[in-house]
Amino acid sequence: MNTKMKLFSYETVDTPIHRLSGLTKLICFLFLTFAVMYSYDIRVILFVMVFSITILKLSKIKFSQIKLMVVYVLIFILTNMVISFFFAPEMGVEIYGTRHVITKIYGKYALTQEQVLYQVTKQFKYASVIPLGMIFLLTTNPSEFASSLNRVGVNYMAAFAVSLTLRYFPDIQRDYRDITLAQQARGLDLSHKAKLKDRFKNALLIVIPLIFSSLDRIELISNAMDLRGFAKAKTRTWYTAKRFNREDYLAIIISALIFFLTIYVSIFINKSRFYNPFI
């Protein structure tokens, strides 16, 4: 199968990350995400970012699988940085309580050291969380994850809905690619040579069939589940159930330690969520 068809979908690879339970990866993801979102200490955020990139490499995820996401993230980060400075050029000054001007730009707009630190810290927060989400999405077997959720008390119908959602990503990608190739074979121009208005109109000719094919698949799956008596019983068994092992507990402990270390640094060392080197 083409690698492009495997974007955001699970692949079976023998790595320590893939061997972890889906519930373990969810707990670790939440611990690390909460740690990054709570703290504005760039030292802590850089540590989590290096840690997440290391785990990303350990999971043997190919760059071709995440290339599209990386491009979107970079665009989002750059756009967010420009908009943040445009609407709140003095936010860093308000947070840190000092003002060290680097250069005057125009009118009320001046680049300060405080604003640079604030915006760089905020963008690194996003850059730290994205790899964690990629790891969770690309290394988690949807069925095994659903069974783990059900084992900790989540209703099995809700857990199964999560599993279907994760499984649906590669199906949508495959349908989109098939419809795109079919439309291009009919002469539909989606290249950069076409005008923007024409490309937008042609894109609708792909999106509309994609929506209808998705609705057909939903109806097909619903009918199949009804015929098999889904939701008739209060409980169910799982073919891919996985028990916690030593690696699962170790991963949760490490993630919890990073989270509590972040809280400790913010409360007892910085006395604030923000690290202020200008004092």
Give the pLDDT confidence score for residue 186 in this predicted structure. Answer: 78
Q: What is the mean pLDDT of residues 166-192?
A: 78
CA nearest to 45, candidates 36, 37, 53, 54: 36
Q: What is the mean pLDDT of residues 91-103?
A: 89
CA distance 217 to 224: 10
pLDDT tens per residue across span 229-250: 887 877 777 777 777 889 999 9
Q: What is the mean pLDDT of residues 175-184?
A: 82
pTM above 0.85, yes or no: no
Lowest mean pLDDT among 49-53, 89-93, 209-213, 255-259: 209-213
Quote the DSSP letter at residue 21: -
Q: What is the mean pLDDT of residues 136-159?
A: 82
Residue 204 confidence (pLDDT) above 80: no
| 152's tokens | 């900790």
CA distance 77 to 73: 6
Which pLDDT band holds residue 65 (cuts at 50, 70, 90)?
confident
Which pLDDT band holds residue 48 (cuts at 50, 70, 90)?
very high
pLDDT tens per residue across span 158-173: 888 888 877 777 778 7
Q: What is the mean pLDDT of residues 4-11?
A: 56
| 58's tokens | 């350990």
Q: Cα dist. 71→30, 121, 128, 179, 184 in Å?
A: 24, 20, 15, 23, 25
CA distance 141 to 240: 9
List beta partners, residue 103. Answer: 111
Percentage of residues of the chain with pLDDT beyond 90? 21
Give the pLDDT confidence score for residue 28 in this predicted structure. Answer: 92
Residue 3 confidence (pLDDT) above 70: no
Identify the top-confidence range among 47-51, 154-158, 179-183, 219-223. Answer: 47-51
Burial call 32-62: b when 16+ CB within 10 Å, e when fewer: bbebbeebbbbebbebbbebbeebbeebebe
Instruction: Name every residue whose Cβ is closer than 8 Å to that of residue 32 and which is 6 or more positions away in sequence.
Output: 48, 51, 52, 129, 132, 255, 258, 259
User: What is the average pLDDT value for the chain, to the nearest integer?
Assistant: 84
Give the pLDDT confidence score for residue 2 in this predicted structure. Answer: 45
Give the pLDDT confidence score for residue 263 in this predicted structure. Answer: 93
Residue 6 confidence (pLDDT) above 60: no
